[in-house]
Amino acid sequence: MAYISFSTADYSERDRLDIARDTYGAVAKVDIEPREGRPVQTRGQFQVLPGVAVALIESSAIEARRNAALAADGPDDLTLLVNPSARGGWISQRSQGSDIACGLGEGCLLSAGQPGNIRFFGRSSHFLCIAYTRESLVPSLASLGRVMGQPISSGAPLRLLTDYACSLIREGEGLSPASAMEAATHLHDLAALTLGGDRDARVLARGRGLRAARLRAIKADMAAHARHGDLTVEWVAKRHGVSTSYVRALFDHAGTTFTDHLLDQRLLRAHRLLTDPDLADRSVSELAFASGFNNLSWFYRAFSRRYGQTPSALRP
């Protein structure tokens, strides 16, 4: 288990192409060539977990090539490629089969043991790669041949898988060994739902990986919108296309409640604002309202109970 981050911005311009070739050659078994007369600018973040690895790439116009020798040099992983952004774009070109151009939110499943190219175009493109070991994924699929090399349309399962994988990248080095193992399990569950798992795999995934991905997505949404005092469980449920009872059940299964988690997010935001020297001229009440609290008395009680001191005592 490891987290790797790489950017050509950390190197001189004359060394960037060589560094990119060395890095992507070692990690992804590809060679890199610049396109459209632009110098190589690329950033890669890699989260390596048991049985699966996630890579999020941002790149200028390049072509990533995997010839027969590179394809034969390593395990024959099954690689799910996803276009997570509307910026730029890319086309997967295979030695066997037709080219695949993935629009926003779309993907395709390819074999790392097959030669082919991926052509990035535009000033900056995003590219999500989820590589599963063949032995860990194939047993849960109903039919590998039905999905291999075929476009995968945007839909709820792929969207949840994409969001979950990207959230793991954002974790950086923060994943514990237990969390990494759990995340790998959820990635396999979501792959079974996205690619068409067998009946047992789908049933298991809906009760495990799907639940974890939805909860993570909802928590991320709450963190982003907790500052709004009118945030409700009804608003969150409608935004994610589920019922309010389902949202409450997700938090109950995690050992907490929607209300308690929302309070945690608002208290964390309030603590951050209150201890920010750049906001020393702002009043406590102003920062409390900016954190989503509508009742100052309740804010003071909750804050003092959580941090053992009053909000005013924390001011810089």
Q: Mind listing the pLDDT tens digit for each residue in 152-180?
A: 888 888 998 999 999 999 888 888 888 88
**94 contact partners, CB below 8 Å, separation of at least 6:** 100, 110, 114, 115, 116, 149
Residues 235-239: what's their mean pLDDT? 91
| CATH code for the domain defined by 2-216 | 2.60.120.10
- Segment of 8-12, 58-62, 94-98, 209-213 carrying the highest mean pLDDT: 8-12
Instruction: Give me the residue label for tokens 């945030």.
Output: 231
Q: Please, where are the H alpha helices in the chain? A: 16-28, 68-72, 134-137, 144-147, 156-171, 177-195, 199-207, 209-225, 233-240, 244-253, 258-274, 284-290, 296-307
Q: What is the pLDDT of residue 202?
A: 73
Distance between CA 22 and CA 39 in Å, rounded? 16
Q: DSSP label at 15?
A: G
Is domain 227-316 classified as CATH 2.40.10.500? Answer: no
Amino acid at site 171: E
Flag whether pLDDT at 265 surpasses 90.
yes
Domain ranges across the chain: 2-216, 227-316
- Model-level pTM? 0.73
